[in-house]
Amino acid sequence: MKLNSTKELALMANAIRADIIRMVNAAKCGHPAGPLGLAEIFSVLFFSEMDFDPKNPQKERDIFVLSNGHVCAGSYSAMAHAGYFPPEDLLTFRKFGSPLQGHPSRKYFPFIDNSSGPLGEGLGIACGYAAALRLDNKPQRVYCVVSDGEHDEGSTWEAALFAAKYKLDNLVAIMDRNYIQIDGTTEDVMPLDSIEEKYRAFNWNVISIDGNDIPQILSALKQAKDCKGKPTMIIAKTTPGKGVSYMEKNYKWHGVAPKDEDAAKALSELAAERKKIEQE
């Protein structure tokens, strides 16, 4: 299902946010802030950018690697709306026996392209996919969502070197630059700025955007396709907890589930935002 307008993509992002709140609240555990901030990214990737067929998930298609797997409530929601499984299954999130575990696992959910858990592995996995597609002369592309905090891991920078050496221009990484991690801000825990200059020094094509602005996301992905001879890093500056007033920019909601009254307030705010989008 392709969405052709910015308004449709914004409404999908809103629906993804509402699902995230319901899922994490029902599970009584999980990570709300990160996926809320990535809702526009997930909306654009799954409903405008990537080539895939939920009815035939094993056919040749674009690859999606979620390195920061703890934000999977957002990608699960997008996959449900795209038709991979019924949306009502989202409420089994993090439950025993559910394929929708707190970190995606190919053992339980074969339609995904990587299992996750320890941070810092996803960019290397994405490089492997991109290199394999190149060796096989395949036209498909690889999209990898990474966190800013996992750039504390040396393995991420090894992957960055590999991608540049082999000129993997079929690889697009999107960094969730929300400036938070579990123990505080990234700049308090392990300063990363200026991250743009770092990636340019590693010979990547670097594009900085507002990661909650759908036209900017669409433009950046087009620029990435037009770039030849270099992998692309889109540094998407997002607002953690986006759409929920008491969560926005508050690292304490990195990995805390909202209680019932908090969830009700969040869903009320998101419903009001949905009406606003519909009226525009």
CA dist 6 and 45 (Å) reads 13
pLDDT value at position 120? 87
CA 46 vs. chain centroid, Å, equals 10
pLDDT value at position 80? 97
Supply the DSSP string of 5-34, one letter for each residue: SHHHHHHHHHHHHHHHHHHHHHHT-S--HH
Q: Where are the beta strands (DSSP E) in the chain?
A: 63-66, 142-147, 171-177, 180-181, 184-185, 205-210, 232-237
pLDDT at 40 over 90: yes
Fold held by 6-279: Rossmann fold (3.40.50)
pLDDT in tens, 54-103: 998 888 999 999 999 999 999 999 999 999 999 999 999 999 999 999 99
Please provide the size of the chain in residues.
280
Give the alpha-carbon dihedral of 136, 137, 139, 145, to 10 degrees.
50
pLDDT in tens, 104-121: 999 888 889 999 988 889
pLDDT in tens, 154-212: 999 999 999 999 999 999 999 999 998 877 888 988 989 899 999 999 999 999 999 99
pLDDT value at position 271? 98
Contacts of 205 (CB under 8 A, 6+ apart): 169, 223, 224, 227, 230, 231, 232, 233
pLDDT in tens, 217-276: 999 999 999 999 999 999 999 999 999 999 999 989 988 999 999 999 999 999 999 999
Q: Model confidence at 47, in pLDDT bands (50, 70, 90)?
A: very high
Packed helices 6-27 and 214-226: angle between N→C axes, nearest 10 degrees: 110
DSSP assignment, residue 46?
I
CA dist 265 and 69 (Å) reads 26
pLDDT in tens, 128-156: 999 999 999 999 999 999 999 999 999 99
pLDDT value at position 36? 98
Domain ranges of the chain: 6-279
CA dist 280 and 190 (Å) reads 41
Residue among 147, 143, 103, 111 nearest 127 (CA):
143
pLDDT value at position 117? 84
Q: What three-state secondary structure class fits 172?
A: strand
pTM: 0.96
pLDDT at 21 over 90: yes
Dihedral sign of CA atoms 163, 71, 5, 206 in order: negative
Half-sphere exposure at residue 15, Cβ-oriented, CA atoms within 13 angstroms: 20
Burial of residue 223, with CB atoms counted within 10 A of its CB: 0-12 exposed, 13-18 middle, 19 or more buried: middle
Contact 172, 224 (CB under 8 A): yes
pLDDT value at position 122? 96
